[in-house]
């Protein structure tokens, strides 16, 4: 795959950076780009809400990025909030997500451009980070849903964006309403592909959609929405199915 990035070994692990996206910062900052304190000292660190992971908006134009530190969830987080069992560099979660995003982005699919990935090993465990391009002025689908600002056009566009990823075989196991971003121009981007992978067609695509539907229902509980209506979900599915059919190979 072209344009994956430049790998640089360190005393504790390694990191990848995309030279064209990092520019002069590759030489002047290097691995420090993954450290929140580096950005904080320059007043270029803004906390971002990204679920259980620690995430920040960092940088300044034209290098405005999202820095995410991987954190664990569930019962295992009580033992280690961010340590993962070492099984070789090929299994490092941030490297895997970086490479998947690089491939999808090269194909023109609706994902953010990857900028860098890092891991730091300590004995039998490692910790890792990822930097991606910030989608300017985009809002999560969840926030727009609560604000009542999801039009039929947007519902359909979201369905079409997901269908394009599924056609490419991109399995997003945590597809939820927080991970779908809507830009001011209506463009859709899907983020947070941790544990994502490329797969042959199968039932996983339906599971992705069901995961999103459960997420939407959960967000609507306790709000003034009264739930996501069958009509709204039908709009999303119409965009999904229309896009899938229009790109289906001819026999």
The domain ranges of the chain are: 6-133, 139-246
Which token pair is 33? 């780009």
**What CATH number matches the domain at 6-133, 3.30.200, 2.60.120, 3.10.20, 3.40.1000?**
3.30.200
pLDDT of residue 5: 86
Per-residue pLDDT for 142 more than 50?
yes
Q: Which residues are catalytic?
A: 174
User: What pLDDT, in 10s, does the model give residues 11-68?
Assistant: 999 999 999 999 999 999 999 999 999 999 999 999 987 555 589 999 999 999 999 9
84-88, 206-210, 213-217 — which is least confidently predicted? Answer: 213-217
CA torsion 102→106→112→114, rounded to 10°? 30
Q: So what's the pLDDT on residue 77?
A: 44
The pLDDT of residue 111 is above 50: yes
pTM of the model: 0.92
Please report the pLDDT score of residue 149 as a whole number.
78
User: For residue 164, which of 153, 152, 156, 173 has the smallest C-alpha distance?
Assistant: 156
What span, in angstroms and rounded, lies between the C-alpha atoms of 181 and 34? 23
Q: How high does pLDDT run on average in the chain?
A: 91
pLDDT at 249: 43
Would you report the helix, strand and coil content of the chain in percent, each value rounded to 5? 40, 25, 40
For residue 135, give the nearest of 56, 52, 193, 191 by alpha carbon.
191
pLDDT value for 64: 97
For 139-246, CATH gives 1.10.510.10
Predicted pLDDT at 218: 87
């Amino acid at each position: 795959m072209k344009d994956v990035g430049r790998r640089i070994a360190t005393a504790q692990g390694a990191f990848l950076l995309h030279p064209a996206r990092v520019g002069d910062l590759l030489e002047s900052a290097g691995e420090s780009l993954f450290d929140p304190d580096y950005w904080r000292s320059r007043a270029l660190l803004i906390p971002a809400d990204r679920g259980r992971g620690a995430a920040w908006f960092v940088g300044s134009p034209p290098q405005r990025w999202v820095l995410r530190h991987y954190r664990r969830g569930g019962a295992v987080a009580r033992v280690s909030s961010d340590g993962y069992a070492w099984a070789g560099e090929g299994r490092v979660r941030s490297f895997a997500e970086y490479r998947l995003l690089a491939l999808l982005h090269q194909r023109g699919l609706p994902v953010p451009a990857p900028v860098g990935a890092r891991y730091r090993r300590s004995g039998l465990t490692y910790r890792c980070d990822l930097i991606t391009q910030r989608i300017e002025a985009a809002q999560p689908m969840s926030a727009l849903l609560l604000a009542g600002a999801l039009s039929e056009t947007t519902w359909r566009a979201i369905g079409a964006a997901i269908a394009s990823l599924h056609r490419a075989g991109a399995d997003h196991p945590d597809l939820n309403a927080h991970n779908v971003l809507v830009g001011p121009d209506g463009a859709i981007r899907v983020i947070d592909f941790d544990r994502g992978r490329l797969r042959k067609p199968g039932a996983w695509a339906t599971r992705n959609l069901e995961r999103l539907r459960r997420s939407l229902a959960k967000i609507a509980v306790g709000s003034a929405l009264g739930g996501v209506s069958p009509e709204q979900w039908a709009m999303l599915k119409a965009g999904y199915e229309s896009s899938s059919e229009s790109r289906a190979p001819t026999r």
